[in-house]
Amino acid sequence: MKKLVIAYSGGLDTSYCAVSLSKEYDVHAVSVNTGGFSQDEINHIESNAYKMGVSTYKNIDAVSTFYQKVVKYLIFGNVLKNNSYPLSVSAERIVQAIEIVEYAKSIGAEYIAHGSTGAGNDQVRFDMIFQTLAPQIKIITPIRDQKLTRQEEIDYLKANGIDMSWEKAKYSINKGLWGTSVGGAETLTSEKALPDEAYPSQLKHAEEEKVKLTFIKGELVAVNGVENEPEINIEVLNNLASAYAIGRDIHVGDTIVGIKGRVGFEAPAALITIKAHHLLEKHTLTKWQLQHKEYLSSFYGMHLHEGQYLDPVMRDIEAFLQNSQDKVTGDVFVTLKPYHFNLDGISSKHDLMSAKFGSYGEENKAWTADDAKGFIKILGNQNKIYQQVNSKQDD
């Protein structure tokens, strides 16, 4: 039989795909860990994959790759889609798709399959990455093509001797390094909030806690003075902040296929890291760096969300973002509180508030009163000319 690689999560959709496709193809299942999986969970997914009839199962550890290829630039750009969502799931899917298609090429697979439906964003991200990196590999999507209902999938699996518990949880959870998405009945409409119990982390601490985050050239290199790889520091910060139930929100946005979508999320480390990093940038970058970074970062986040990661413009923007971080080094002081956090301040040798020119609103040491008057007079020329010209025309 012809060799096929399936993106396997262990859920109902990919289990249906694995069982049905195993009747026609030599199926090799692969999962990509971009954070959030324990070893026990990985072992459980592997055990179930073999029950579905696959020939082999492989779990690819891509946490570090995910950070280096995507998360790092989301931090450099302070990327929050619609000013709220840190692109937790959409960012993961890009790296997962790349790892899966590269694995398919490495074993000489002729086909690649995924369990996406025809109504979501993931079908676009997976297909675009697969088509771009391996146009010779055919893509198979049983759930999308057959328009299957959940019950039809369950009935098929039972008929093929796979009688597992497929009870749909009240809330769907997708956990990764950069945050956890939460979907439920409340997110299908516009007016309801998710209840506390829908979020995976619950409030454990009531007392405030001070945290020091250390950045070197924009990367989070230490938490409370303990140095580690940035992706590990993100996990450490997530564990600290999730105990305060920090980072909960509901994102409302436009899907790639043109409809509005609503999803809950819990991303304490992502939100704190981005906000702390942005504060450090406010102190260490010039106003023109901050201005141009803002719109380029917005484009970067949008293109990533839309599945355009492989377009060369993304490497161009990454080069800009990387270069902008040269002086973004220092400590940011954060206070964790129940359900929220405060940014207390920063300490950096590159702090532009430390200049000897003067203090805002207090004193100046580098110019005279006459200098200021002349500057203001020239600065106002454009407005004065406009007003004079147009006030005459109005007369």
Tens-place pLDDT, residues 233-264:
999 999 999 999 999 999 998 988 889 989 99
Distance CA 137, CA 2 (A): 12
- Domain spans of the chain, in order of start: 2-159, 172-285+327-347, 357-394
Identical fold between 2-159 and 172-285+327-347:
no
User: Is the per-residue pLDDT at 342 higher than 60?
Assistant: yes
The conformational region for residue 383 under phi > 0 = left, psi -120 to 50 = alpha, else beta, is alpha
Nearest Cα to Cα of residue 100 among 122, 55, 133: 133
The yes-or-no verdict on residue 268 having pLDDT over 60 is yes
pLDDT tops 70 at residue 331: yes
Question: What's the pLDDT score for residue 374?
Answer: 95
* Residue 168 vs residue 300, higher pLDDT: 300
Model confidence at 176: pLDDT above 60: yes
Structure tokens at 225: 């003075």
Q: Which residues contact 80 (CB under 8 A, 6 or more apart)?
A: 86, 271, 274, 301
As its CATH architecture, domain 2-159 has 3-Layer(aba) Sandwich (3.40)
Considering the four listed CATH numbers 3.40.50.300, 3.30.830.10, 3.90.1260.10, 3.40.50.2300, the one that applies to the domain covering 172-285+327-347 is: 3.90.1260.10
The mean pLDDT value of the chain amounts to: 93
Residue 235 CB: number of other CB atoms within 10 A?
18
Q: Is the pLDDT of residue 390 over 60?
A: yes
Q: What is the pTM of this model?
A: 0.93
> Residue 287 has what pLDDT?
96
Of 90 and 65, more confident: 65
